[in-house]
């Protein structure tokens, strides 16, 4: 069996030697190792991929015992995780994830797709993925989310993926899945908010467009960033061509960010991430 070992602890001399000694004493073999020290905070981060027979809680306790009290240790078996996707009307991010899932490229099981519109139900049916419609008509945000939460209680999952889910989540919903909601949104330099950001970007004459995938917190689009990418555009492109290119970036950025999470490569530290 293979596992991912993640350690976050105050930095000091000999950390790697002490940690690897415990790994050796428990008959585990290190397949890959990554470390990083945040100099400003003096925090050491380590991600190791190990193989062997492992009693997770016991090994976590042994590692914690040789490190400072502020240490965080997590050991996770390497196996497919489960995700729920929330979407609205746009199909490009959802469709990309479904294709990656069908081809085996996505290292996850999609247990359900939830939407406040029925528009994307036929797409999910093609891939035999359960599609759950939860109308928002006549409901407040809180009431609508309570209906979604009732549905989610029937599923076991590791992450919620917002595949262009165009509704702002309440603090209650975010708290219920803290650190487990991944969002994708357009990001420009300069930034444009509100309706039709690509048309705004065209009118401003931007030369770069891009996308950002991040964990969701209670600050709108301000959660810890997982992955970003950009493409160059020019004056010959109208806003519809910019939108098409931007959507290509959005789906690629979301897929890459999601795979980083599925492979346990992310440390959330304050409002930023360390990604191995």
Q: What is the pLDDT along the chain (276 residues), one digit of tens a residue?
A: 999 999 999 999 999 999 999 999 999 999 999 999 999 999 999 999 999 998 999 999 999 999 999 999 999 999 999 999 999 999 999 999 999 999 999 989 999 999 999 999 999 999 999 999 999 999 999 999 999 999 999 999 999 999 999 999 999 999 999 999 999 988 765 677 667 788 888 888 889 888 999 999 987 678 999 999 998 998 888 988 988 888 999 999 999 999 999 999 999 998 999 999
- Under DSSP, is residue 194 helix (H, G, I), strand (E, B) or coil? coil
pTM value is 0.93
How far apart are the C-alpha atoms of 239 and 245, rounded to whole Å? Answer: 10
Beta carbons of 152 and 179 less than 8 angstroms apart: no
- Sheet with 181-188: strands ordered across: 131-133, 108-115, 81-87, 159-162, 181-188, 208-215, 225-232
- The residues assigned a catalytic role are 221
């Amino acid at each position: 069996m293979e596992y991912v070992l993640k350690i976050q602890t105050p930095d000091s001399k000999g950390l790697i030697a002490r940690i690897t000694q415990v790994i050796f004493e428990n008959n585990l073999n290190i397949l890959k190792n990554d470390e990083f020290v945040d100099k400003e905070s003096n925090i050491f981060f380590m991600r190791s991929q190990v193989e062997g027979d492992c009693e997770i809680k016991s090994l976590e306790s042994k590692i914690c015992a040789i490190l400072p009290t502020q240490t965080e240790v997590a050991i996770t078996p390497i196996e497919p995780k489960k995700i729920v996707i929330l979407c609205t009307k746009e199909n490009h991010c959802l469709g990309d994830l479904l294709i990656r899932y069908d081809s085996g490229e996505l290292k996850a099981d999609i247990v359900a797709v939830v939407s406040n519109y029925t528009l994307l139900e036929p797409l999910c049916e093609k891939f035999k993925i359960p599609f759950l419609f939860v109308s928002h008509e006549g409901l407040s945000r809180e009431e609508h989310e309570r209906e979604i939460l009732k549905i989610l209680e029937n599923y076991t999952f590791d992450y919620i993926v917002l595949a262009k889910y165009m509704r702002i989540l309440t603090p209650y919903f975010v708290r219920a899945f803290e650190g487990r909601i991944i969002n994708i949104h357009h990001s420009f330099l300069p930034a444009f908010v509100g309706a039709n950001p690509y048309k705004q970007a065209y009118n401003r004459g931007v030369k770069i467009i891009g996308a950002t995938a991040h964990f969701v917190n209670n600050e709108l689009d301000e959660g810890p960033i997982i992955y970003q990418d950009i493409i160059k555009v020019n004056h010959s492109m109208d806003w519809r061509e910019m939108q098409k290119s931007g959507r290509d970036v959005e789906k690629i950025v979301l897929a890459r960010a999601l795979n980083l999470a599925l492979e346990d490569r992310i440390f959330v530290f304050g409002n930023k991430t360390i990604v191995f």
